[in-house]
Amino acid sequence: MTLPIGGFFGLESGSGTGAYHDGALALSLGRACLNLVVQHLQPAKIHVPYYSCDALLAPIRHNRVPLEFYELNAELEPRARLNLGPNEYVVYINYFGVKQAASRRLAALYPGRLIVDNAQAFFVREPVGLCSFNSARKFFGVADGAYLYFPGMDLPALERNTLARQDHLVERMAGNVEFAYRRFLEYERGLNCDIKRPSLFSEELLARVDYQGASERRKANYEVYQRDFGRINRLQIERHDDDVPLCYPLLLDREVPKAALHERGIFVPTFWADVTDRPESGFAFERQVTRDLLPLPLDQRYDATDCRRVIDEVRRLVGG
């Protein structure tokens, strides 16, 4: 039987040597990190990329802070310089874990005003801009776990997240993919931006991860895709040595039906369907990326043979 490729993780297992982000403030979710930052800063306005998920917007709206969307260029960086008023801040997303260099450039451009969302860049463990935060759930089989880098900020006394459910992770590990996916969606719908510490169970699992092995495998798999798709990928993003990717972001000159890939056992997500439902006019590029991007799986569960299988299936669907 051909095993599926992609989708969320089964329950994490491993034999690591301890926490990776031991220099950060540990919280339950990335949106909890941003909620804490917003409550601390009390901003007049926050500028956010239109190409973002509603989970990123939730803490801003929860605190009734005005937000303004900005456009991206083909390198997934701000199309134009943003004019910031007093006490206004910029959120930038380290897209797919390969925009760390852009994050550093923007930190210099907006000193003391940049908040970096590293939810797709788990392995960045340096303060970027004013502050930055990571999330573990997109990279490993855990229900929660997020890390805030905000120099000089102390974490208040917080209760632990006791609502983190593991059943979808266990079912996925057991191979019950469809049932696990339904449970995963139920769990996702119940998440919020409450500021809590991570669950003890997730903390224990994350202390056992082989982070070096996961990092090396992701980088190697990215290069397998890049060698094959680099010339035809409309997203010309250069991955630097310190970038550990979430996925391989492939944008072709035609739409590839994700349902057809799913039928072949390759599960490719959409980042983020929320974008196409927003009422704002314009942002044609962001809507196109939302619709047509193929975030190809490359995580530590897979090797070059698995990536070649994905490449072959994509090429069959596009006719070459």
Name the domain boundary from 152, 171, 204: 204
Query: 263: buried, middle or exposed (CB in 10 Å: 19+, 13-18, 0-12)?
Result: exposed
- Count: domains in the chain: 2
- CATH of residue 291's domain is 3.90.1150.10
Say if residue 198 is in the same domain as residue 245: no
Say if residue 175 is in the same domain as residue 288: no
pLDDT value, residue 1: 52
224 CB contacts (<8 Å, ≥6 apart)? 298, 304, 307, 308, 311
Say if residue 199 is in the same domain as residue 226: no
Count CA atoms closer than 13 A to 111's CA, side-chain side. 1
Closest CA to 195 of 161, 152, 150: 161
Tokens of 28: 């339950």
The answer to whether residue 34 is domain-embedded is yes
Give the separation between CA 53 and CA 32, rounded to whole angstroms.
14
Say if residue 149 is in the same domain as residue 226: no
Global pTM reads 0.94
The answer to whether residue 300 is domain-embedded is yes
The answer to whether residue 250 is domain-embedded is yes
The answer to whether residue 320 is domain-embedded is no
Give the separation between CA 199 and CA 234, rounded to whole angstroms.
40
Name the domain boundary from 188, 204, 220: 204
Say if residue 270 is in the same domain as residue 294: yes
Say if residue 69 is in the same domain as residue 192: yes
Residue 320 pLDDT level (bands cut at 50, 70, 90) = low
pLDDT value, residue 2: 73
Count CA atoms closer than 13 A to 307's CA, side-chain side. 25
Residue 130: give the domain boundaries. 5-13+20-204
State yes or no: cis peptide before 272, omega within 30 of 0: yes
Closest CA to 49 of 102, 87, 90: 90
pLDDT digits (tens, 9 = 90+) for 3-62: 889 988 888 877 777 889 998 999 999 999 999 999 999 999 999 999 999 999 999 999
Say if residue 53 is in the same domain as residue 192: yes
The answer to whether residue 319 is domain-embedded is no
pLDDT digits (tens, 9 = 90+) for 156-187: 889 998 888 887 787 777 778 777 778 877 87
Give the separation between CA 254 and CA 5, rounded to whole angstroms.
23
Say if residue 278 is in the same domain as residue 262: yes
- Cα-based angle 182, 187, 191 (whole degrees, multiple of 5): 150
Tokens of 200: 């003890």
pLDDT digits (tens, 9 = 90+) for 257-314: 999 999 999 999 999 999 999 999 999 999 999 999 999 999 999 999 999 999 999 9
Give the separation between CA 129 and CA 40, rounded to whole angstroms.
16
Give the separation between CA 99 and CA 77, rounded to whole angstroms.
9
Say if residue 292 is in the same domain as residue 168: no
Give the separation between CA 71 and CA 86, rounded to whole angstroms.
21
Name the domain boundary from 204, 225, 257: 204
Give the separation between CA 146 and CA 197, rounded to whole angstroms.
9
Say if residue 197 is in the same domain as residue 77: yes
**Alpha carbon 6 to chain centroid distance?**
15
